[in-house]
Structure 1
Amino acid sequence: MKSLTSKALLLLSAFTLIFAEISAQQSTTVSAAKIDLTEKIPIDPKVKVGKLENGLTYYVQSNPKPENKVELRLAINAGSILEDDDQQGLAHFMEHMNFNGTTNFKKNELVDYLQGIGVKFGADLNAYTSFDQTVYILPIPSDDPEKLDKGFQILEDWAFNALLEDEEIDKERGVVLEELRIGKGADERMRQRYLPKMMYGSRYAERLPIGKKEIIENFDYDVIRRYHKDWYRPDLMAVIAVGDLDVETLEAKIIEYFGDVPAVKNPRERKEYDLPNHEDTFISIESDPEASFTNVQIMYKDRENKKPTETIKDFRDNLVRSLFSQMINNRLDELRNSPNPPFVFGSSYYGGTFARNKNAYQSSAFVDASKQLEALKTLLVENERVKRHGFFEGEFERAKKDLIANLERAYKDRDKTESGRIVGAYINNYLDQTPIAGIEWNYNMMMTLLPGIKIEEASQLIENYIKEDNRVIILTGPEKEGLKKVTEQEVKDLLAAIDDMEIEPYKDAEVAESLITKLPKKGSVIDYSLNDELDTKTITLSNGVKVTYKITDFKNDEVLFDAFRYGGTSLYSDEDYLATANANGGLTEAGVNGFKINDINKILSGKIVNVRPSIGGYSENISGNSTPDALEELFQLTHLYFSALNKDDEAFQSFVNKQKAFAGNLLANPQFFFQIELGKFLNEGNPRYVPFPTAESWEEANYDLAHQKYMERFSDASGFHFYLIGNLDETKLVDLCETYLASLPSSNKEHSYNVPDYRPLTGSHKKVIKTGTDQKSNVRLIYNGPTDYSPEENLALRSVGEVLTIKLIEKLREEEGGVYGAGAGGSISKIPYGWYRFTISFPCGPENVDKLTSAALAELDLIIKDGPTETDLNKVKESLKLKHKEDLKTNRYWLGLLRGSDYEQKDANNMLEFEKNVENLTVADLQKVAEKYLTKGYITAIQMPED
């Protein structure tokens, strides 16, 4: 369970209807001239929307993906904005309490039952609370009537039947306080200072969902019961059910479980709270010694309240806004890729604010701490550049291509969309009245309207976006010696100077039409094999390169690929490795075949394709994705990353500047500092350990040597094995392999990696790292050491981690109330040498470190001594099997299986025995592996606050 952070809320509100569901195709049969723009947007015929007599709204849809599963949601039109003064934090607290005892599931029975049918707490079963809403999330198996009934019974209990017992309320106080503690830090402190200006004059500035510590600690039991009575009622609720059952069955279940609940008489008014206008520009410049990052944000709030998207004209307006956003962000991306970038990342969009009924145009950037004012100036200038000169045809056409490409992908995959991705649209329709016309209608309408949209319409939007009233400027960043803080007067002077500043129009340079103008000399396929069990095919090309592929119908518009060859930086000398470690990540910033990154982005407008080469510790790798239509571009980029990587000192310096900005103040963050110091401790004596980079070490990174080494590793393609999964045309695929892969130079020699002499720290050690001013601690217990790889032991050790996670949640969270979350995990690896690793980790208060560490170890000792209970083992088995069944229907799983099996020198066919192997796991298996690996001492790492 969680309360949404400010960043998460802004991201959620940023996505308009357009990006939620519409998509497109290149042709349409409807004429824009025949469209009545005042016509209402229809409701998708696939979904049935109804309302019970008690006022509860419901949405049901039959959807076959994934099989045998229904996604259930309970959306409540109430959140922290409705809390009385003595209830601050109790909307979120109420969400927690629904997992701590209801009429049909006493205390922890609900989580226990769901774990028993394979539904994991946190990963699957969850909930969240925001300002205006509370949403409960429950995926449930649909192939068993009893489980389906239980799912709807749980939803009914969440809606109406929380017990809210005194003892359980008191126990949950600690859990919620720990969640509040996790959120403490520099970002939270700065947010408390700038929020009153961002949300000036509104209730949103004083009703953050996490609430107030003193209220959570001390509220009377009846206070939360009053909140539940006021707001958990049918007329403020929607039940959403989407999954692998017919509409009639799902609707009948909703009527059965919710239809008899009476409407509330004389209900309390559900008020909507406004975000008032203000004439002044508010400026908030906040800093904190522990701030990790530096940010700039400009917010131009609308004067009028938001109106729902109801008509085709509203839909068209959203299209125009999307084109605007695409163009302005393309410009900002070009700037971030410039030799001296003004920011690490910048973006602009028109969308929601914290307030449900108010939109804003917002520009933001993540910057170097010394470049705040420069980044602010850049954002202001780019907005002003659009205002004065507008957009140009070239970028307008590219924006349309990109918009079509992204939305067309959703359209093509409309029959392969997972239920979990569908339910969100219905939640938003209920809570925010966003349309639910369906992909088909949106596709037809977008392609009908798009040709008639003029560039001037997008250019003119800026006139209404930017203004001097309702403007808020927020700067946040670190506070440290030698760093000059931007002043409010400097910001005011900059704002005044923009009007008189000379600003040239955007220059849109011509670019080539293709990445490759002359095709390489084609090779051929010299061998072919088939794996009938996995339905995969492997071809060997004339240069020795191998390609394994699997044609799937899991997604209509998705192709994933990966490739590796043994070697990597293990073949570098220690000196060369240390000199190039920080440079390797910036090699691709130079572009390929004489094209800079910005040129490549323009050439690939309208294409969804991504390729990423890298040099790992023990292998060279290249991976990516595309749509079937962009498969040739994927192969072209792959070929060019082998044969024509540019060398560009300016581009590399741009990368260095961005990395220095990103990492500039990370060490001030206590969590990052803990991780970095722990890494040093665990790698003491490692001759190839690369410490956290400083500004000096970034400047010392040897680009020339890194580029030379890259060319050495990639100029010879021998030993590479490629893997492609997805909707593939086999004839086209083989032709592309012969053209772009078989043509790569190859020596046909064998490739391997060097096994290092160094091994990580093992045995019993303790490291306490003091950092941070907040009363926050982190505990990590690490068991690791050498072993021979065994697939049976790997599965057993992994399962020990799953069982222990269940026990840690029960003991440390539910019984002790000392943590918000806790986890354990284990695995055994084979490459570059046999090694096991098992970790236990949790955050908590400093005063509870010793007690909770002992409690965690006591739970592990029970597994070592007696093994887990059959009940807990069965929970893990059900979860593993359920996830495996869903994984088998995804391209990502198959890519990881095939590539990972070869890399780790395992037999991929063993996957066929996975469910049987899971089912055959015994209590004795887990006890044996726990006794073998988790009794040889462990490393204790503890983060404590500074004295």
Structure 2
Amino acid sequence: MKKFIFSAAILLCFTLVLPLNAQSTVATSKVSYTATNPIPSDPNVKTGILKNGLTYYIQNNPKPENKVELRLVVNAGSILEDEDQLGLAHFMEHMCFNGTKNFKKNELVDYLQSIGVKFGAHLNAYTSFDETVYILPIPSDDPEKLEKGFQIIEDWAHNALLTDEEIDNERGVVLEEYRLGKGANERMMQTYLPKMMHGSMYAERLPIGTKENLETFKYESLKRYYKDWYRPDLMAVIAVGDIDVETLEEKIKSHFGHIKNPKNPKPRPVFDLPNHAETFVAIASDKEAPFSNVRLMFKDKINSKPDETLADYRKSMVENVFSQMINNRLDEIRNGDNPPFVYGFTYYGGTYARTKNAFQSSAMTSPEGQLDALKTLLVENERVRQHGFFEGEFERAKKDIMARMEKAYKDRDKMESNRLVGLYINNFLEQNPMPSMEWRFDFTKSQLPTITLDEVNALIQSYIKEDNRVVILTGPEKEGLEQVKETEVLELLDLVKSMDLKPYEDKAVASSLMTKMPSKGSIKSYETDETLGTTTLTLSNGAIVTYKKTDFKNDEILFDAFSYGGTSLYTDEEYKATSNANGGLTEAGVNGFNKVELGKMMSGKIANVRLSIGSYSEGLSGNTTPKDLETLFQLTHLYFTALNKDEKAFKSFADKQKAFLGNLLSSPQFYFQDQLSQFIYGKNPRYTGFPTAEDMDNADYSLAYEKYKERFADAGDFYFYFVGNIDENKLVELCETYLASLPSTGSNESYKVSDFRPLTGSHKKIIEKGEDPKSSVRITYHGPTEYNQKEAHALKSLAEVLTIKLIEKLREEEGGVYGAGANASISNMPYDWFRFNISFPCGPENVDKLIAATMKEVDLLIKEGPTEEDLEKVKKAQILDYKEDLKTNRFWLGQLKNADYLNKNPHHILKFEEAVNSLTRDDLHEAAKKYLTQGYITGIHNPEK
């Protein structure tokens, strides 16, 4: 079965693999391929099967340095549970962290934290219908740590203790996770899942299980599940990282080779998704549902099989081209007048069942617009069926696919290990192919030009059918809203298939973004910083450009830019009138080209620029490749000088925003955020709260556009940043052409600081909303201070220590939460201010008890400071993260920009490890005494009584 991670904007072409005639032979630039030949596996991945049946995958990969990603994959999930085991596949995942032969209760997490591995952020696991996967990143530069890492995953495989006491202790944690999942989406799923997965076990085996069984299951039921399904012939060990293959293979053999299978192993069944002649319509509504969605599924009649041959791979390429084109059409519709949905997309791919694929369309829409959105999806599918696609859109789709493939190919030796392991997990579980990136690029480059439009157009005939069809509508239930009826859906299905539709009209577009080249400026000065590896240019118009050439990625350049001012320079009235309009400024396009035309012109290019106007600055950000760097510069120049103004484009944006926001506050969680924010910030004369549909109607687009022109009239006070694989001569030339030529007025603006300050001191706000027995708590310390960099680091570290303690106390000891955490910062912009936040969800009956337990931990930090052991855990994690960050373009871009934006010394970037090592218990203790004794605001969300 093909599993796709899909969005309307992104198609990962290297996972969509596409029909050769059975006997045909095709040639690439390097190799000849025969259609029936198997897809070759990546020769850099060593695979094997131990005598006991355990499969392993090993790859040496140097990025990131000194780290190996370990995975234990169990080909067993909730689909295999007996009636007395509902939820126990997932429960078993929890128990592997709660006592094994070599790591007693809490020792596992405690040990990993001591070497810098964070619980949740790094160490994790997940359980699905058909599999359970354990995730463990471990340092690879220390033989002892590596050995411990393999001992941990071995223990997960067969050494879980499963004591009665620990099983009972974990019930509370799992029940809290179960509680978190309750709500409108879960209730609506109970309505539509039996129709979506009609006649299958998938409709009856949600991984979380049932509350009743989680509370009452017998110990033997869990132990039986572990014994039956955690066995070598159903397991794979994956090890990818910065260490030699021989060492990893030896570790796998020594730790897993001796594990025995049961004498009479239970067969591991595969569960089918039966066919059905009917069209099932599921309409589910809920008064707490924040969003409206429609989904259309045409399930295959025959079971899927893995891609095995070159013909299979090429067929998936054809499917990818199809998806690219139909989603381009849907994107045009969402960006046109009166859009029927916030977003919509269509693809062919997997269902919950491994054995069945489906042609699927989805859209998010307004509560009143579900039928219109469904009709649009149906009509566009039918339009393709009647008329197919056309040559222009076909060529653009192939260009886009090839551009993404080329980028992946160029960065093949810079791929992070955690991005590689997914291919091997899917190969083990579903026999998906795992060819090398070199092979994929070579095959795609060779075969993409041979795909014909007729091949792509033919797919729709097998996709659309009148049996095995499911339509799902979910959304809010509220007064005055008439729910869609099943008869209306069925009538619409009949109506669309009888329509005589016009073909898609593909309008020609210009070939160049720039209609007139700007007059070139110049570079006034160069300044290099050998320590940071940066160069700073002062342009003839006064703008400052800082760039850093890196080798972290071969085909990536990141970009950011800012100028002080932002909306702080607006009057209160201007701010309120434009706050909901600024986000729609770029919807009109640039230089006379609308958004759809721009999309077509950008086919085959990877260059994105985003414009923003924030509270204290305006700016741009984006990304590109070395090949398309000039396109990014051109877009940047046009955002300064030639942003279109188009009332229709803005109305389209506002309509989508209204559809998205229209029912948001019916969600208890969003409502709580809104009310607590209003409580703390509501006296700000600029406070706007969550925007409503009425707010969008009142947004002043014309004023927003005029203020945009003011904010971007002077490029001379902008700072620009570029980080990545930069050709320095080319960058300098582009800066002269497209940035130094931008207008400059010499304004040298700064930002204005309001007199308003948020509510401080000791306050309590209880907000009641929702029917589920769910509560959440937020505790906020904040207020004025004097910025100090070391103190800011100490306070942030104190929050990380507190997070460790809250997990230990609230989760492991009390069993009262699934997760809890704290975060903190001290900022010097727009004024010196500190914040320290604590949050956790829980049951209403436990709110007071858990707040008391939390404050006990806070008081202990105030009284005694952290333990040396906990401080060392935090320091190890910070250093590990920092060492990885140092090798990423995103980190350097943010650090270089923020050094200027916040007026900090950029050389502190390289002194972070020194700063971490110098942190002491006294530093954190002093921060606790200073900042956690000034009173706090308690926000509590409870259900309605």
Amino acid at match of 2:362: S
Shift of 1:940: 0.3
Rounded to whole Å, the distance in 1 between the matches of 2:921 and 2:746 is 49
Residue matched to 1:267: 265
Residue matched to 2:102: 104
- Indicate if the aligned counterparts of 1:409 and 1:557 stay in contact, CA closer than 8 A: yes
Residue matched to 2:738: 740
Rounded to whole Å, the distance in 2 between the matches of 1:34 and 1:839 is 61
Residue matched to 2:53: 55
Amino acid at match of 2:822: A
1:81 aligns with 2:79: yes
- Indicate if the aligned counterparts of 1:100 and 1:107 stay in contact, CA closer than 8 A: yes
Structure 2 spans left out of the alignment, 5+ residues: 19-25
Residues 711-726 of structure 1 mapped to structure 2, 5 A cutoff:
711-726=709-724
Choose the corresponding residue for 2:909, options 905, 908, 911: 911
Amino acid at match of 1:213: K
- Indicate if the aligned counterparts of 2:306 and 2:430 stay in contact, CA closer than 8 A: yes
Residue matched to 1:680: 678
Rounded to whole Å, the distance in 2 between the matches of 1:572 and 1:804 is 40
Amino acid at match of 1:277: N
- Indicate if the aligned counterparts of 1:21 and 1:410 stay in contact, CA closer than 8 A: no
Rounded to whole Å, the distance in 2 between the matches of 1:320 and 1:496 is 29
Change (3 A) 1:14 1:696: closer
1:885 aligns with 2:883: yes
TM-score (norm 2): 0.98
Rounded to whole Å, the distance in 2 between the matches of 1:144 and 1:279 is 60
Shift of 1:498: 1.2
Choose the corresponding residue for 1:519, options 499, 517, 529: 517
- Indicate if the aligned counterparts of 1:547 and 1:723 stay in contact, CA closer than 8 A: yes
Residue matched to 2:15: 20
Rounded to whole Å, the distance in 1 between the matches of 2:361 and 2:915 is 53
Residue matched to 1:225: 223
- Indicate if the aligned counterparts of 2:560 and 2:722 stay in contact, CA closer than 8 A: yes
Choose the corresponding residue for 1:346, options 334, 344, 347: 344
Residue matched to 1:615: 613
- Indicate if the aligned counterparts of 1:9 and 1:354 stay in contact, CA closer than 8 A: no
Residues 544-943 of structure 1 mapped to structure 2, 5 A cutoff:
544-943=542-941
Change (3 A) 1:703 1:14: closer
Shift of 1:10: 7.5
Amino acid at match of 1:848: N
Residues 382-401 of structure 1 mapped to structure 2, 5 A cutoff:
382-401=380-399
Rounded to whole Å, the distance in 1 between the matches of 2:305 and 2:30 is 24
Task: List per-residue Cα deviations over 1:805-828 (Å, max 9, x = no partner).
Answer: 000000000000000000001100
TM-score (norm 1): 0.98
Shift of 1:18: 4.1
- Indicate if the aligned counterparts of 1:782 and 1:938 stay in contact, CA closer than 8 A: yes
Residue matched to 1:337: 335
Choose the corresponding residue for 2:68, options 67, 70, 73: 70
- Indicate if the aligned counterparts of 2:714 and 2:747 stay in contact, CA closer than 8 A: no
Task: List per-residue Cα deviations over 1:766-817 (Å, max 9, x = no partner).
Answer: 0000000000001000000001111000000000000000000000000000
Amino acid at match of 1:441: W
Rounded to whole Å, the distance in 2 between the matches of 1:505 and 1:14 is 24
- Indicate if the aligned counterparts of 2:7 and 2:345 stay in contact, CA closer than 8 A: no
Rounded to whole Å, the distance in 2 between the matches of 1:475 and 1:401 is 35
Shift of 1:733: 0.4
Task: List per-residue Cα deviations over 1:407-432 (Å, max 9, x = no partner).
Answer: 11111000000111111100000001
Residue matched to 1:210: 208
Residue matched to 2:131: 133
Change (3 A) 1:93 1:59: same
Task: List per-residue Cα deviations over 1:188-217 (Å, max 9, x = no partner).
Answer: 000001100000000000000000100000
- Indicate if the aligned counterparts of 1:22 and 1:411 stay in contact, CA closer than 8 A: no
Rounded to whole Å, the distance in 2 between the matches of 1:13 and 1:634 is 22
Rounded to whole Å, the distance in 2 between the matches of 1:504 and 1:16 is 27
Rounded to whole Å, the distance in 1 between the matches of 2:654 and 2:384 is 30
Shift of 1:32: 10
- Indicate if the aligned counterparts of 1:22 and 1:407 stay in contact, CA closer than 8 A: no
Task: List per-residue Cα deviations over 1:23-80 (Å, max 9, x = no partner).
Answer: 9xxxx97269943100011111101100000100000010111000000000000000
Rounded to whole Å, the distance in 1 between the matches of 2:796 and 2:104 is 30
Amino acid at match of 2:44: K
Choose the corresponding residue for 1:315, options 306, 313, 316: 313
Shift of 1:445: 1.1
Aligned pair count?
936
Shift of 1:691: 2.1
Rounded to whole Å, the distance in 2 between the matches of 1:503 and 1:258 is 61
Rounded to whole Å, the distance in 2 between the matches of 1:19 and 1:711 is 42
- Indicate if the aligned counterparts of 2:559 and 2:621 stay in contact, CA closer than 8 A: yes
Amino acid at match of 1:58: Y
- Indicate if the aligned counterparts of 1:296 and 1:365 stay in contact, CA closer than 8 A: yes
Rounded to whole Å, the distance in 2 between the matches of 1:745 and 1:14 is 33
Rounded to whole Å, the distance in 1 between the matches of 2:249 and 2:703 is 65
SS at match of 1:502: coil
Residue matched to 1:240: 238
Rounded to whole Å, the distance in 2 between the matches of 1:464 and 1:10 is 22
**Comparing 791-800 and 712-721, the one that deviates more:** 712-721
Residues 470-549 of structure 1 mapped to structure 2, 5 A cutoff:
470-549=468-547
Amino acid at match of 2:65: E
Residue matched to 1:144: 142
SS at match of 1:370: coil
1:429 aligns with 2:424: no
Change (3 A) 1:929 1:120: same
SS at match of 1:423: helix
Amino acid at match of 1:426: Y
Task: List per-residue Cα deviations over 1:492-523 (Å, max 9, x = no partner).
Answer: 11111112212100000000001102210000
Change (3 A) 1:63 1:723: same
Change (3 A) 1:33 1:384: farther
Task: List per-residue Cα deviations over 1:654-685 (Å, max 9, x = no partner).
Answer: 01000000001001000000001111111131
- Indicate if the aligned counterparts of 1:18 and 1:318 stay in contact, CA closer than 8 A: no
SS at match of 1:718: helix
Task: List per-residue Cα deviations over 1:427-470 (Å, max 9, x = no partner).
Answer: 00000101011111111111111111101111110100010000
Change (3 A) 1:9 1:850: farther
**Comparing 122-131 and 496-505, the one that deviates more:** 496-505
Amino acid at match of 2:15: A
Residue matched to 1:306: 304
Shift of 1:404: 0.5
Residues 26-41 of structure 1 mapped to structure 2, 5 A cutoff:
30=28, 34-41=32-39
Shift of 1:718: 1.9
Residue matched to 1:4: none
Shift of 1:22: 7.7
- Indicate if the aligned counterparts of 1:781 and 1:938 stay in contact, CA closer than 8 A: yes
Amino acid at match of 2:187: R
Task: List per-residue Cα deviations over 1:134-183 (Å, max 9, x = no partner).
Answer: 00000000000000000000010000000000110001000000001001
Rounded to whole Å, the distance in 2 between the matches of 1:262 and 1:88 is 26
Residue matched to 1:5: none
Choose the corresponding residue for 2:173, options 150, 175, 191: 175
- Indicate if the aligned counterparts of 2:28 and 2:447 stay in contact, CA closer than 8 A: no
Rounded to whole Å, the distance in 1 between the matches of 2:34 and 2:706 is 62
- Indicate if the aligned counterparts of 1:22 and 1:410 stay in contact, CA closer than 8 A: no
Amino acid at match of 1:764: S
- Indicate if the aligned counterparts of 2:13 and 2:401 stay in contact, CA closer than 8 A: no
Change (3 A) 1:60 1:645: same
Residue matched to 2:114: 116
Shift of 1:749: 3.0
Amino acid at match of 2:225: Y
